[in-house]
Amino acid sequence: MMYQPDLVAETGPLQTRWRGPEDSNRLDCETGVLLRRFLEPVFRQSTSWAGLRRRLASRGFDLGFNMGRLVLNHRESGTRICSCKFLGYPLGTLTERLGRAKVAAIRGRTGHGLLLD
């Protein structure tokens, strides 16, 4: 993954290092594959939600909820990158292995929340 500074297209959606100027909220296939390979050891080796968040933080990421889905966020900017299901780690699978997640709802935003340690 090549670093791209945050840019704003003159007319159109916001472009960030994780998302092009397209209207789609999906990563392109190549970036998705690289991200899966980069984060696979983090998800596989974690034995608790707190441990998973610490390991993700060491790589510049965090977890949250968006529209009821567990999502990966860029830690520095808060940009939502993709769902954890897209990475091969759906919430149900992680819950079976790590236990039930503790989540704080974000006031005024239905289906959005922050993962607590």
Residue 104 included in any domain: yes
Residue 59 included in any domain: yes
Residue 73 included in any domain: yes
What's this model's pTM, rounded to 2 decimal places?
Answer: 0.75
Residue 1 included in any domain: no
Count of the separate structural domains present in the chain:
1
Range of the structural domain that residue 59 is part of: 7-116
Residue 2 included in any domain: no
Residue 64 included in any domain: yes
3-state secondary structure the chain: CCCCCCEECCCCCEEECCECCCCCCCCCHHHHHHHHHHHHHHHHHCCCHHHHHHHHHHCCEEEEEECCEEEEEECCCCCEEEECCCCCCCHHHHHHHHCCCEEEECCCCCCCEEEEC
Chain segment 21-36, per-residue pLDDT in tens: 454 556 788 888 999 9
Chain segment 66-75, per-residue pLDDT in tens: 888 999 999 9
Residue 39 included in any domain: yes
